[in-house]
Structure 1
Amino acid sequence: MQDIEPLSALDSNAERRVLVEKVRSIGHTTVGAYFHALAGVLSERAAVTRLIDGEVEGATMTFAEMDREARSLAAYFQSQKAKGDRAMMLFDAGAEVMQSFLGCAYAGVIAVPMPAPLTGKVERYLNRVKGVVMDCDIRFILTTTPILNTLRDVAKTIDGLADAEWIAVDALADRSDAWVKPKQEAEDIAYLQYTSGSTSTPKGVMVTHRNLMKIIEYNGIASGCPTVGTKAVCWMPYFHDFGLIDGLLVPLAFGMPVYAMTPFEFVKNPARWVNAIHRYRASHSSAPNFAFDLVARKTTAEQRRHLDLSCWRRANNAAEPIRNTSVNRFLETFEPCGFARDAMAPSWGLAEATLLVTLADAGPKYYSLDAASLQHHRVRPASEGQTTIVMMGCGRIWPGPWEIDVKIVDPDTFELSPSGETGEIWVAGDLVAKGYWKRPSDTAEKFHAEIKGFPGTCYMRSGDLGFMDGDELVFTGRSKDLIIIEGRNHYPQEIEKTAEASHPALRPGCTIAFSVDADDKSRLIVVSEIVSKYGLSDVISDDSQAMSISRRDLERAIRSGVADEHQIRVHEIVFIPSGHIPKTTSGKLQRKLCREKYVSQSLHALGT
């Protein structure tokens, strides 16, 4: 590990903040105008540095270079009269992501971030994105020369991809001097965020320039970028709103250099994440819940011995249900390395509201609730002897020059939920996106809901359940994932957490619980991955190096744990190999798809 970077950059940070504040005070209404102005004052300062293999510094792109490359791409778009057309982005990580996104913004082209292909799975990958290509009529595909060479031949055989114009941005001729500032409005669409798990019926969230400018300001101020921001480290995928906005756009908008690695590089060796934060004295680095758990479990005491994470001032934790056990494990592991408890910031949001809506301001907050009451939508603190479910607070709406409103609403009656009861989380205000691309009925249902007794204000229905404790939002689960058995409500993430904790052979973050109807009754099904070093005794081969474990003992541990914690019987348990639980490209569990695979008997079950 390299030595800690000298802290003599304090004066440089202060100067940068003054320059950024001058640009912010102008009040730019579009992303392109803002970043072009920012490049004018931060020209030779570092913007994005690619960390090759998550460790070795690659080329650094300055703000001036990023602006020039963006203008060059935008000038080409303008020569093709492409304003309003869609351009798909296919990259791994690094400066090309930002220069391409800004190139679209500079030209009025609508960016469509999508994941780059996995080696060896190119044809399957391209078929997966075909639905997106057809949904928004992609005209351009932006990528790099290596990815272009990998994909182009296969793409010619797939409808929708063959007609698109492929552009390797690293080989594009310099046209920056030909760029002309476009006429744009704040309500113009900046990019389409296709929701996680979208395949055959994708939904593209229309995020406007106004949405982006508001979330950059809101997220940045709430996260302390103008006051304590120095540098940022990001491994999150750019094709997910959390990675694109929180990981890249927000820190860069405040002039903070970003050090970027790919999700694969992080997952392969989670220590790379915290090492980079230590090495570059980064103040900001966010991640979904699983990453905090993973880095705590996968780093050794020796790897952590020289870490100094006192520089890490903000770690937004969002994009999936936040587990108290994961947060506690991370804090217990890294507080001795200087990580401040107040830097952990559980948050809540969704793509339909651009990104984060509520953010913590003083570290994690825990809610120990009576499980029996929660099953009937009532919020009651757990008393001694009662079965307890621990929920995490997800922060509050921060005050400032923006309009954001959150209400808890009965999803059946559209009336405000009484205090002390759970309901659906509804959002209104500056962060709510324009709707779904070319889906007027879905847009009306999702984005134009009204609370009974409060006509005239449209709210976006999140589909998430929760309650308010004062101004603190507490997320309790997804309404579509809710398990209802014998009239009682059960949150799948709580059952999954209990099941995984029942035995070390079960892989953390890789269990799914859902219900199916059989014999006129709802039955609970649990699907769990087995850690690769273990093997079920009835299927393990004689020459295997894996540790043998009895299927019966493993099932007994899960059934006992779930029955004790949730007073519910597990009807069937399915074990699958490591790496086979259905997840989205951003790592979210796909409960609906898992249920469909179970019903169709297409799960890769061990021993069947």
Structure 2
Amino acid sequence: MTVITPESTLIDRLTAYGENQATATAYTFLDENGEEASTLTYAELSARTDSIAAALRRRVGRGERALLLLPDGIDFMPTYLGCLRAGVIAVPAYPPLPMQAQQRMLTLRAISADSEPTVVVTSGPQELVDTIRDAVPELAGVWWVTADELVRTPPEQAPAERPAPDDIAFLQYTSGSTSEPKGVVVTHRALMHNEELIRVTFGHDEQNRTLAGWLPLFHDMGLIGNSLQPLWLGGHGISMSPLSFIKRPVRWLQAVTNYRANTSGAPNFAYEMCLRRISDEECAGLDLSAWKVAFSGAEPVRAATLDRFTERFAEYGFHSKSLFPVYGLAEATLLVTASAVGAEPVRLTVDPEELQLGRAVPLAGGWPLVSSGTAWKDRSVVVVDPETREQAADSTVGEIWIGGPDLPAGYWRKPEASAKTFEGRILGGDGRTYLRSGDLGFIRDDEVYITGRHKDLIIVGGRNHYPHDIECTVENAHPAARKGCSAAFSVDMSDEETVVVVAEIRANFELTDELIGDFSRISSLAISQHHGINVHEVVPVGPDSVPKTSSGKLQRHAARRAYLAGEYSIVHEGVHV
């Protein structure tokens, strides 16, 4: 019988659970209607993983890359784990669907060129596979194989080589929300550390190890948080595709209900989507009382969203103490800070004018902020002035720097970018290195508050403005605004930095000249009143016009490029107030 120890990797745990709880369900996969489509027991998962590993070893060398272009479903986890067992470096990516999605295609091409895979593992109709292959010249001459073909390979009799802690497990490509995607080199040690950090902070134990979610499996939060954590625990993971959630958000809450999930979460926009698009009739039968950890991360956590979600779903068993703000990023493998299980999220209202000057000064009735929790175990978080590299005082806004053992090894084949991001040193410090997150925030009473991205920061008239605050103002100013679908950014006009907001209009509103003028005027006035900015332009656009990453993060830099290139179908004279 294989025994699990603190040094056990994911592959060690898979072997142990395949022997010790062979018939227990490891994963359940739901179809586009939220119905159960397939399951894998631990024995089945282990057997599929062995077969895939054997097939890969016959044609792919140790340390070579396998690009995984697999939809969310039964093929992904055995293929990913098969790579780890074979010593092949997995490169999870998302099929560029729909094919006309230019940004997704460019992202795939960038990942392919950077990782130089030896094999591409796919599934689905051959015509679709051929179309993808023809559209990505970087993959010409690479071995293309389906997951089904790999699974049919008989497992080897010889035991698989056990990965060492410092071996590379996989390349986790960043979302590309502010730049080209870069491959974060995640070792088995870093992966083990972060999975254990999640286990401890989320309160997972024998009674709390059922996780449900819809986040894409190739993405850090979906893969490490939703899908690998159940394997780490020997628990049960329930997964549906992101499209299934987008089409009908109630399916997420139904999955939590049906499987009595203890943990499930998503970015803030998903909670907003539930509030907007789940009808009272659809709520019939929901029971969210088992949902102990409703984590929210990957974008700013909004106090108003938390309040409205609790109020709306309290009668179905949801409790405000289940709300669980977190902070993480791919460069840290995933989790950095987390709230306390079973406690209300920590909040703070601050003087908005002082915050613009880089100071968090408490003010009753001021701007509401939600803490993303504290650093746990041996993780450390400090705030540093990004220009001087001096450590900032408490309640002073600066760049979030992350320390502690077992951070990823850097970016794949990018030594200069790796040194810049992973080797931050505090001026006058003790010489230890930190991960520079690129995120802005402050620490108060050990609580970490994230205020925005350094590269997204807008500076007008010597004051700092966070784009998500401006976007929130626009989205609350007019009923036609689509929540979570606006992008604020700065542009240079006549040697002066000014602000433009591109905002999507809800599908049930017709984009007429009258609506355009009304929307721009009201939004501009609201921005002026709340932020003291005379914006250059507010541009209403149709649905799905503001670029986002596959995980739902706004790509403000891409929106800015599109605006300056005149790519939006509606561009009109700005309304100045």
Q: Please tell me the TM-score bracket, short chain as reference.
A: over 0.9
| Mapped contact 2:85–2:162 kept (Cα < 8 A) | no
- Aligned residue for 2:138, secondary structure, equals coil
Secondary structure at 1:380's aligned position in 2? Answer: coil
State the distance in 2 between where 1:179 and 1:59 align.
Answer: 30
CA offsets per residue over residues 296-323 of structure 1, 9 Å max, x none? 2211112213211101111111111112
List per-residue Cα deviations over 1:469-508 (Å, max 9, x = no partner): 2221111111110100010000110010011100110111
CA distance in 2, matches of 1:383, 1:605: 41
Q: Counterpart of 1:485 in structure 2: which amino acid?
A: V
The count of residues paired between Structure 1 and Structure 2 equals: 570
Match of residue 527, structure 1, among 492, 502, 511: 502
Change (3 A) 1:199 1:350: closer
- In structure 2, the residue matched to 1:64 is 43
**Cα shift readout 1:529-575 (whole Å, capped 9, x = no counterpart):** 1111112332xxxxxxxxxx533322221112111111111111111
Say what the alpha-carbon RMSD is for the aligned residues: 2.0
Q: Does 1:413 align with 2:388?
A: yes
Q: Specify the alignment match of 2:59 in structure 1.
A: 80
Match of 1:534, SS state, is: coil
Cα distance change, pair 242–179 in 1 and its aligned pair in 2 (3 A): farther
Matched, 1:169 2:150: no
2:369 alignment partner in structure 1: 391
1:458 is aligned with what amino acid?
A: T
Structure 1 residue 142: Cα displacement? 1.3
Task: Sort the Cα spacing of 1:201 and 1:568 in 2 relative to 1 into closer, same or farther, 3 A.
Answer: closer
Determine the structure 2 residue equivalent to 1:439.
414
When structure 1 is superposed on structure 2, of 81-90 and 370-379 the one drifting more is: 81-90
CA distance in 1 between partners of 2:406 and 2:213 (Å): 23
Q: Which amino acid aligns with 2:475?
A: E
Of residues 304, 308, 312, the one that matches 1:333 is 312
- 1:11 counterpart residue number: none
**1:359 aligns to what?**
338
Residue pair 1:123, 1:154 contacting (<8 A) in 2 also:
no
1:214-251 alpha-carbon deviations (Å, 9 max, x no partner): 11111012112215414221100011100001110012
Question: Within the alignment, does 1:470 sit opposite 2:445 as a pair?
Answer: yes
Matches within 5 A, 1:166-565: 166-172=144-150, 173-178=152-157, 180-197=159-176, 201-361=180-340, 362-383=343-364, 388-399=366-377, 403-538=378-513, 549-565=514-530
Matches within 5 A, 1:23-34: 23-24=3-4, 26-34=5-13
Percent identity between matched residues is 38
- Following TM superposition, by how much is the alpha carbon of 1:152 offset from its aligned partner in structure 2, in angstroms? 2.3
* Contact 1:131–1:199, Cα closer than 8 Å, also in 2: no
Measure, in 1, the Cα distance between the counterparts of 2:323 and 2:460. 35
For 1:2-40, what per-residue CA distance to the aligned partner results, in whole angstroms no more than 9, with x for missing partners? xxxxxxxxxxxxxxxxx9xx954x223432223222222
CA change 1:337–1:431 in 2 (3 A) is farther
Kept after mapping to 2: 8 A contact 1:215/1:354: yes
Give the equivalent residue in structure 2 for 1:150: 128
Work out whether residues 523 and 570 of structure 1, in 8 Å CA contact, stay in contact via their aligned partners in 2. Answer: yes
Aligned mates of 1:200, 1:389 — CA distance in 2: 29
Residue identity in the other structure for 2:388: T
What is the aligned partner in structure 2 of residue 14 from structure 1? Answer: none
The secondary structure found in structure 2 opposite 1:251 is: helix
How far the C-alpha of 1:341 sits from its partner, in A, is 1.2
Maintained 8 Å contact 1:211/1:433: yes
Point out where structure 1 has 5 or more consecutive residues left out of the alignment.
1-18, 539-548
User: What is the identity, as a one-letter code, of the residue corresponding to 1:392?
Assistant: V
Measure, in 2, the Cα distance between the counterparts of 1:23 and 1:297.
48
Partner AA of 2:411 in structure 1 = Y
Report the Cα distance in structure 2 between the residues aligned to 1:123 and 1:452, rounded to whole angstroms: 43
The alpha-carbon deviation at position 201 of structure 1 amounts to: 4.2
- Partners of 1:413 and 1:346 lie apart in 2 by 30
The range that moved more, 116-125 or 173-182, is 116-125
Shift of 1:116: 2.1
Shift of the alpha carbon at 1:346? Answer: 0.4
Alignment of 1:29-108 (within 5 A): 29-108=8-87
Deviation readout 1:350-376 (Å, 9 max, x if unpaired): 000000110111232221110110111
Structure 1 residues 483 and 35: CA distance shift in structure 2, 3 A:
same
Classify 1:179/1:77 alpha carbon distance in 2 versus 1 (closer, same or farther; 3 Å).
farther
Assess, with a 3 A threshold, how the Cα gap between structure 1 residues 598 and 81 changes in structure 2: closer, same or farther.
closer
SS in 2 for 1:458: coil
Contiguous gaps of at least 5 residues in structure 2: none
Q: Secondary structure at the match of 1:496?
A: helix
Distance across 1 between alignment mates of 2:559 and 2:250? 30
Matched AA of 1:378: R
Contact 2:519–2:540 (CA<8 Å) still a contact in 1?
no
Q: Match for residue 545 of structure 1?
A: none
2:534 paired residue number: 569
Q: Which residue is 1:130 aligned to? A: 109
Check 1:183–1:282 CA distance in 2 against 1; reply closer, same or farther (3 A cut).
closer
Q: Relative to structure 1, is the Cα distance of residues 271 and 178 closer, same or farther in structure 2, using a 3 angstrom cutoff?
A: same
Equivalent in the alignment of 2:548:
583
- CA distance in structure 1 between the aligned counterparts of 2:178 and 2:320, rounded to whole angstroms: 39
Residue 345 of structure 1: CA displacement? Answer: 0.4
- Displacement of 1:161 in angstroms is 1.3
Q: 2 CA distance for matches of 1:435 and 1:223? A: 27
Q: 2:310 & 2:82 partners in 1: Cα distance?
A: 40
**Contact 1:427–1:461, Cα closer than 8 Å, also in 2:** yes
Please tell me whether the aligned partners of residues 72 and 179 of structure 1 are also in contact (alpha carbons under 8 angstroms): no
Bigger shift: residues 175-184 or 491-500: 175-184
Distance across 1 between alignment mates of 2:200 and 2:126: 38
SS in 1 for 2:536: strand
Contact 2:54 / 2:153 at 8 angstroms: preserved in 1? no
Distance 1:550 1:119 in 2: 30
Return the alpha-carbon distance in structure 1 between the equivalents of residues 501 and 131 of structure 2: 41
